[in-house]
Chain A
Amino acid sequence: MKHLKKTLFVLLLASLVLSSTFAAGTKEAAAGPLTLTFFETMTSPSRTAQIQEVIAKYEALNPNVKISLVSPPYEQADNKLTLMLNSNQELDIIEVRDHTVKQFVNNNKLVDLTPYLAAWDQGDDLLPLTMAAAMTVNDTAYLLPQFFFVKGLFVRTDVLKKHGFTSLPKTTEELYAMSIAITNKAPNQYGFGFRGKGNAFKISDILILSDVANISKDNIYKTEDGTFSFSTPAGRKAVADYVNLYKKAVPSDGINWGFNEQVNAFISGTTPFLVQDPDTVGMVADALDPSQYTVIPMPLGKSGKTYLDYGFAGLGIPTTSKNKDAAWDFISFMVNAENNADFCRTYGPLPVHTSTYADDPYFSSGVYKSWETEMASPDTYVFVKYPLDSPKYPAWSQVQEQSMQALLLGSSTVDATIAQWEAYWK
């Protein structure tokens, strides 16, 4: 027993000594070059590797700066960042997303980047949309956007040809009609790649609300005269048309389709139409030959327009950072036209500089042409915002998903569903 005690005591002592030595070691390292902590949230292994490349490039140019990248798993990243910010942990560069920016500003966590942007030589090269996204909250630039997600219509031209269609749909009416005409349940041929779960409203809203004239640019759920968008006569009719599309051109399983099922149905040819973001291009290009598909701008609704939401994420500096200027230096490097174009080329979404669309053939030709068209015609493709600053927004996805499923399954009516939505947003 005595022997055991002695051994345990020695072990304990040893571990104490060892741990204090290691602690001293880290402190010493921090005293060397300046270390900036960079927290990314939209993580994926390939994207993290890409960011590491940019960091290596930056560190080679700035030997006295080290960037330490934090990359938590995607699902937990936003929450983890929020918690770290709220407990005032030391971060210097953080990835801010469209749905987190308001919350960070509410809690006073983001530095106003206006002076930095004004002094930046590439500031004038940013797209108008980039600046709009940067100034989402309080008309103040709290982040420098890095990329956009804007919906486009992916089309399997080979499948359409097989069914005798040579033209592509320009309006939602044509899209619906073609989808229904193609559908033939016996050989498992359907028309439209439905989205039923996981932020399904981001797809259904575009198709439905493009029929409504005068949607407010500040809030997709309001018209310019303040009516709830779905409650307008055109809105009600459009919801009914959308339900009809589901019944006639979508497998019944579609209400449980998330991103993976949608893309799978498109690649297998089961549904030749798919509404998706540009980061889907990589996946589709890996599976299909360029002659089999194309991407066209979103079809226009009966209003003659289509209202597009733009998803974005960018970089910001937390108020708690002790190295704000150094952090900006890295941000302006990572988001300069050249690095931004490289980043987006591999990762998939749309870059933020005007010059990229003019000079880089990759983004001005091929399937990206459709997104360039959408961004260059502001009267036809109107960019609108979700009520991201409403405290009701975070719960909306689930409420909309469950009520829309009830409507599609026939356990609720169009009017009752719209009434429920209107009551929710009141």
Chain B
Amino acid sequence: MMEQKYYRWMLAPALLLLTAFIYVPVIRGGVMAFQNYNLFDMNDLRFIGFQNFVSVITDKNINFFQILWNTAVWLFGSLFFQFVLGFGLALLLRKPFLGRGIYTAFVFYGWALSGFAIGLTWSWLFNGQFGLVNDLLMRVGILNSPIGFLSNPNLAMISVIIPNIWYGVPFFGIMLLAALQSVPNELYEAATLDGAGSIRKFVSVTVPYVKPTIVSSILLRTMWIVNFPDIIYAMTNGGPVNKTNILATQMINKVFKEYDYGQGSAFGLIIMVLLFAYAVIYLRLTEKDGGENL
């Protein structure tokens, strides 16, 4: 009994901090989404029901459904390649080779950089006038004149997804490498005895064993990608013509440029609901075969 009480006390500071810095702001944000909360004029603070949601969804100047579509393209475009390349990277790094430690450190370095800095760097790489990418393509003879990667509405989204892939690959690499290293060698030996080839071993031993890690890291990464406006913000500011504007960048615009915390919170709540729905469906779909290990 004494022990119980003691643990409770010891947990209290952590709980207090979590409440103060996570739960209170989340609830506050949720409330704000239903208020006329604009720093421009704080004298008119009142509850306005769903008006903020109606305003952002029916905005004539900034098309909400375009933003929603952009968010989906941004998410799945980034996630797919991050995962595939990250998995490949982890497989390559699994077996020891000379200088693996140093090489691994270099490969994972990108993950430690700030998203905004990455965006600024890549916006110079993709610059249509002085960019390195254009310069290389022209020197090799693939291009005759420079391309405006970030100003062409058809290329802009791809051009912001590429840095995001570059940024996210190490995350999957780290997570999956750790999982791969925990696969017991006996399983591979047994599979070899049973006459399995390397593809069969990958499909029947490796994948099932690391599946819980795959499931959880994909879910985590989904949330982070959706909530990751930094690169887009630094590279295109949502342009050209709204082609790279996602929910998270528009939320930032609402809060930091327009001071409209009400509409900004409405975007926040929309993101939260969408992610929650996504997580429920995703976990339902994956738990059928082995995901319950989570």
Known A-B contacts A79-B259, A261-B129, A264-B130; the reply to A399 vs B62 at CB < 8 A is: yes
**B6 close to A (CB within 8 Å):** yes
Q: How far is the CA of A142 from the CA of B84 in the complex (A)?
A: 58
**B204 close to A (CB within 8 Å):** no
Main secondary structure of the interface of B (DSSP, over half): loop
Q: What is the minimal beta-carbon distance from A416 to any residue of chain B, in angstroms?
A: 12
A-facing residues in B104-151 (Cβ within 8 Å): 127-130, 145-146, 148, 150-151
User: For residue B42, which residues in chain A have a CB less than 8 angstroms away from its CB?
Assistant: 86, 106-107
User: For residue B38, which residues in chain A have a CB less than 8 angstroms away from its CB?
Assistant: 391
User: For residue B62, which residues in chain A have a CB less than 8 angstroms away from its CB?
Assistant: 398-399, 402
Decide: A86 and B150 in contact? CB cutoff 8 A. no
A-facing residues in B5-23 (Cβ within 8 Å): 6, 10
Binary flags per residue of A401-417, CB closer than 8 Å to B gives 1, else 0 = 11101100101000000
**A254 close to B (CB within 8 Å):** yes
Decide: B39 and A86 in contact? CB cutoff 8 A. yes
**B236 close to A (CB within 8 Å):** yes
User: For residue A391, which residues in chain B have a CB less than 8 angstroms away from its CB?
Assistant: 38, 40-41
Q: How far is the CA of A394 from the CA of B261 in the complex (A)?
A: 13
Query: Which listed residue, A83, A252, A424, touches B128 by the CB 8 Å rule?
Result: A252
Instruction: Output the nearest chain A residue to B159 by Cβ-Cβ distance.
Output: A256
**B276 close to A (CB within 8 Å):** no
Decide: B41 and A401 in contact? CB cutoff 8 A. no
User: For residue B241, which residues in chain A have a CB less than 8 angstroms away from its CB?
Assistant: 402, 405-406, 409, 411
Decide: A403 and B61 in contact? CB cutoff 8 A. yes
User: For residue A254, which residues in chain B have a CB less than 8 angstroms away from its CB?
Assistant: 151
Q: What is the minimal beta-carbon distance from B92 to any residue of chain A, in angstroms?
A: 36
Q: How far is the CA of A197 from the CA of B145 in the complex (A)?
A: 23
Q: How far is the CA of A185 from the CA of B146 in the complex (A)?
A: 10
Decide: B239 and A197 in contact? CB cutoff 8 A. yes
Q: How far is the CA of A185 from the CA of B145 in the complex (A)?
A: 9
Instruction: Output the nearest chain B residue to A258 by Cβ-Cβ distance.
Output: B237
Known A-B contacts A106-B41, A252-B151; the reply to A394 vs B237 at CB < 8 A is: no
**B206 close to A (CB within 8 Å):** no
**A361 close to B (CB within 8 Å):** no
Decide: B6 and A5 in contact? CB cutoff 8 A. yes
Q: What is the minimal beta-carbon distance from B89 to any residue of chain A, in angstroms?
A: 31
Query: Which listed residue, A83, A102, A107, A255, touches B239 by the CB 8 Å rule?
Result: A255
User: For residue A397, which residues in chain B have a CB less than 8 angstroms away from its CB?
Assistant: 257
Number of interface residues of A (CB under 8 A): 46
**B256 close to A (CB within 8 Å):** yes
Decide: B150 and A256 in contact? CB cutoff 8 A. yes
Decide: A188 and B240 in contact? CB cutoff 8 A. no
Known A-B contacts A8-B10, A256-B150; the reply to A197 vs B237 at CB < 8 A is: yes
User: For residue A198, which residues in chain B have a CB less than 8 angstroms away from its CB?
Assistant: 237
User: For residue B152, which residues in chain A have a CB less than 8 angstroms away from its CB?
Assistant: 252
Known A-B contacts A198-B237, A401-B237, A405-B239; the reply to A75 vs B128 at CB < 8 A is: no
Known A-B contacts A397-B257, A424-B61; the reply to A402 vs B239 at CB < 8 A is: yes
User: For residue B153, which residues in chain A have a CB less than 8 angstroms away from its CB?
Assistant: 409, 411
Query: Which listed residue, B129, B236, B253, touches A197 by the CB 8 Å rule?
Result: B236
Instruction: Output the nearest chain A residue to B245 by Cβ-Cβ distance.
Output: A402
Most buried by A among B6, B42, B238, B240: B240
**B182 close to A (CB within 8 Å):** no
Q: How far is the CA of A411 from the CA of B63 in the complex (A)?
A: 15
Decide: B128 and A394 in contact? CB cutoff 8 A. no
Query: Which listed residue, A75, A401, A409, touches B256 by the CB 8 Å rule?
Result: A75
A-facing residues in B248-280 (Cβ within 8 Å): 253, 255-260
**A253 close to B (CB within 8 Å):** yes
Instruction: Output the nearest chain A residue to B41 by Cβ-Cβ distance.
Output: A106
Q: How far is the CA of A119 from the CA of B156 in the complex (A)?
A: 57
Main secondary structure of the interface of A (DSSP, over half): helix
Decide: B253 and A251 in contact? CB cutoff 8 A. no
Query: Which listed residue, B151, B237, B240, B259, touches A82 by the CB 8 Å rule?
Result: B259
Binary flags per residue of A137-170, CB closer than 8 Å to B gives 1, else 0 = 0000000000000000000000000000000000
User: For residue B240, which residues in chain A have a CB less than 8 angstroms away from its CB?
Assistant: 196, 255-256, 402, 405, 409
Known A-B contacts A5-B6, A253-B151, A424-B61; the reply to A103 vs B259 at CB < 8 A is: yes
Known A-B contacts A251-B128, A261-B127, A424-B61; the reply to A107 vs B259 at CB < 8 A is: no
User: For residue B129, which residues in chain A have a CB less than 8 angstroms away from its CB?
Assistant: 188, 251, 253, 261, 264-265, 270
Decide: A395 and B258 in contact? CB cutoff 8 A. yes
User: For residue A394, which residues in chain B have a CB less than 8 angstroms away from its CB?
Assistant: 40, 257-260
Query: Which listed residue, B10, B41, B238, touches A103 by the CB 8 Å rule?
Result: B41
Known A-B contacts A252-B152, A256-B240; the reply to A395 vs B257 at CB < 8 A is: yes
Instruction: Output the nearest chain B residue to A406 by Cβ-Cβ distance.
Output: B241
Q: What is the minimal beta-carbon distance from B3 to any residue of chain A, in angstroms?
A: 9
Decide: A253 and B40 in contact? CB cutoff 8 A. no
User: For residue B51, which residues in chain A have a CB less than 8 angstroms away from its CB?
Assistant: none
User: For residue A420, which residues in chain B have a CB less than 8 angstroms away from its CB?
Assistant: 60-61
**B43 close to A (CB within 8 Å):** yes
Q: What is the minimal beta-carbon distance from B36 to any residue of chain A, in angstroms?
A: 11
User: For residue A373, which residues in chain B have a CB less than 8 angstroms away from its CB?
Assistant: none
Most buried by A among B10, B150, B245: B150
Query: Which listed residue, B146, B151, B245, B259, touches A196 by the CB 8 Å rule?
Result: B151
**A268 close to B (CB within 8 Å):** yes
Q: What is the minimal beta-carbon distance from A359 to any residue of chain B, in angstroms?
A: 40
Q: What is the minimal beta-carbon distance from B250 to any residue of chain A, in angstroms?
A: 9
**B242 close to A (CB within 8 Å):** yes
User: For residue A409, which residues in chain B have a CB less than 8 angstroms away from its CB?
Assistant: 153, 240-241
B-facing residues in A96-134 (Cβ within 8 Å): 102-103, 106-108
Q: How far is the CA of A391 from the CA of B260 in the complex (A)?
A: 10
Q: Which residues of A does B touch, CB under 8 Å?
A: 5, 8, 75-76, 79, 82-83, 86, 102-103, 106-108, 185, 188, 196-198, 251-256, 258, 261, 264-265, 268, 270, 391, 394-395, 397-399, 401-403, 405-406, 409, 411, 420, 423-424
Pairs A-B, 7 closest by C-beta atoms: A253-B128, A253-B148, A256-B151, A394-B258, A399-B61, A256-B150, A405-B240
Q: Which residues of B does A touch, CB under 8 Å?
A: 6, 10, 38-43, 60-62, 127-130, 145-146, 148, 150-153, 156, 236-242, 245, 253, 255-260
- Can you give 19 contacting A-B residue pairs, CB < 8 Å? A86-B39, A103-B39, A252-B128, A255-B151, A256-B156, A256-B240, A264-B130, A391-B38, A394-B257, A395-B253, A397-B257, A398-B257, A399-B61, A402-B61, A402-B240, A409-B240, A411-B241, A420-B60, A420-B61
